[in-house]
A and B are shown apart, each in its own frame.
Chain A
């Protein structure tokens, strides 16, 4: 799996958009970008994934650059419950492929 680079921590004001960057410059053509988050002492939660097009779901938006070397996860209106560690992972299409977790970004949403 390609490696990813994320800032160790970020702060965001409650109600504002949280933009979490991720660099994955060695991503292969058949690898997807997955985002998960882990709230303290819980299992990781799937957020969103994409290959090359931008994606949006009820939780977040994923913006992938045209060269696919970086991406940004956007939480449009952050709440206190969004405080968590966010992991950006590149992997082949889910199924039997393991996910390798990096250190992630600790997002703190501030009242």
Chain B
């Protein structure tokens, strides 16, 4: 089945620094990937839709200059949290797939802690 690999699984960074999260489709090509954020005890909230070879589409309220998305190939999308602040601490999850109408595959998530 479709496999999505997300890396790193955990990262701790200092305030003001940037962090890059990678999302790879291992056995299929993904023209579209999605990035979600999940705060404790809350549901997943869509942040942006990543499109290969074009600009990402951001949901309302998500700062595109803070959350940089690059989808330069059919198997890799990256999310960079720039100038991270403690309030950016969250669980970030990517997803891709949906081939033949089957459900999306999600990455295992990245736990970001900004100190």
Contact = CB atoms under 8 A, between A and B. Distances in A.
Given A41-B109, A46-B103, A99-B46, 10 more contacts: A34-B103, A43-B95, A43-B106, A44-B93, A46-B102, A47-B103, A94-B97, A96-B49, A97-B98, A101-B45
Interface of B: 4, 6, 31-32, 34, 36, 43-46, 49, 91, 93, 95, 97-99, 101-109, 111
Interface residues of A, number: 25
Contact of B43 (A34, A98, A104): A104
Nearest to A32: B101
Nearest to A95: B98
B71 to A, nearest CB: 13
Nearest to A104: B43
Contact of A94 (B44, B45, B103, B111): B103
A100 interface: yes
